[in-house]
Amino acid sequence: MLAGGIGGARFLLGLRELGHDVTVIGNNGDDITLYGLRVCPDLDTVMYTLGGGSSVERGWGREAESFRVTEELTHYAAAIGADNAADVPTWFGLGDLDLATHLLRTAWLRDGVALSEVTRRLCERWPLGVRLLPATDDPVETHVTLADGRTVHFQEWWVRVHADVPATRIEFTGAATAGPAPGVIEAIVSADVVLLPPSNPVVSVGAILAIPAVAEAVRRTPAPVVGLSPVIGGAPVRGMADACLMAIGVETDAGAVAQHYGRRPTGFLDGWLVDDTDAAAVEPLRKCGIACIARPLLMSDLGATTAMAQAALDLANDLRT
Amino acid sequence: MLAGGIGGARFLLGLRELGHDVTVIGNNGDDITLYGLRVCPDLDTVMYTLGGGSSVERGWGREAESFRVTEELTHYAAAIGADNAADVPTWFGLGDLDLATHLLRTAWLRDGVALSEVTRRLCERWPLGVRLLPATDDPVETHVTLADGRTVHFQEWWVRVHADVPATRIEFTGAATAGPAPGVIEAIVSADVVLLPPSNPVVSVGAILAIPAVAEAVRRTPAPVVGLSPVIGGAPVRGMADACLMAIGVETDAGAVAQHYGRRPTGFLDGWLVDDTDAAAVEPLRKCGIACIARPLLMSDLGATTAMAQAALDLANDLRT
B150 touches chain A (CB under 8 A): no
Nearest CA in chain A to B117: A84
Per-residue pLDDT tens over the stretch A197-236: 999 999 999 999 999 999 999 999 999 999 999 999 998 8
Average pLDDT over residues A298-308: 96
Please answer yes or no on whether A103 and B68 come within 8 Å at the CB atom: no
A39 touches chain B (CB under 8 A): no
Per-residue pLDDT tens over the stretch A43-67: 999 999 999 988 777 777 898 899 9
Please answer yes or no on whether B72 and A100 come within 8 Å at the CB atom: yes
Please answer yes or no on whether B73 and A103 come within 8 Å at the CB atom: yes
B73 touches chain A (CB under 8 A): yes
pLDDT band at A177 (very low <50, low <70, confident <90, very high): very high
Ranking B19-28, B73-82, B283-292 by mean pLDDT, the lowest is B73-82
Q: Is residue B230's pLDDT more than 90?
A: yes
Nearest CA in chain A to B83: A121
Q: Smallest Cβ distance to B125: which of A37, A75, A111?
A: A75
Q: What is the pLDDT of residue B134?
A: 98
The share of chain A scoring above pLDDT 70, in percent, equals 100
Q: Which residues of chain A neighbour B104 with C-beta distances below 8 Å?
A: 35, 73, 76, 88
The share of chain B scoring above pLDDT 70, in percent, equals 100
Per-residue pLDDT tens over the stretch B256-283: 999 999 999 999 999 999 999 999 999 9
**Helix H or strand E encompassing B268:** none
pTM value is 0.91
Please give, rounded to a whole number of angstroms, the shortest distance from the CA of A72 to a CA of chain B. Answer: 6
Average pLDDT over residues B111-122: 96
Q: Which residues of chain A neighbour B37 with C-beta distances below 8 Å?
A: 36, 103
Average pLDDT over residues A232-253: 89
- What's the rounded Cα separation, in Å, for the pair A275 and A254? 8
B37 touches chain A (CB under 8 A): yes
Average pLDDT over residues B216-220: 98
- The chain-wide mean pLDDT, for chain A, equals 94
CATH class of B1-321: alpha beta
Q: Which residues of chain A neighbour B122 with C-beta distances below 8 Å?
A: 76, 80
Q: Sign of the C-alpha dihedral, residues B274, B279, B281, B283?
A: positive
Please answer yes or no on whether B81 and A110 come within 8 Å at the CB atom: no
* Cβ contacts of A47 within 8 Å, gap of 6 or more: A53, A101, A119, A122, A123, A126, A128, A132
- What's the rounded Cα separation, in Å, for the pair A314 and B82? 43
Q: Smallest Cβ distance to B69: which of A73, A79, A100?
A: A100
Average pLDDT over residues A103-107: 94
Nearest CA in chain A to B88: A104
The share of chain B scoring above pLDDT 90, in percent, equals 81
Q: Which CATH number fits domain A35-136: 2.60.120.280, 1.20.1260.10, 1.10.8.240, 1.10.10.10?
A: 1.10.8.240
Please answer yes or no on whether A79 and B124 come within 8 Å at the CB atom: yes
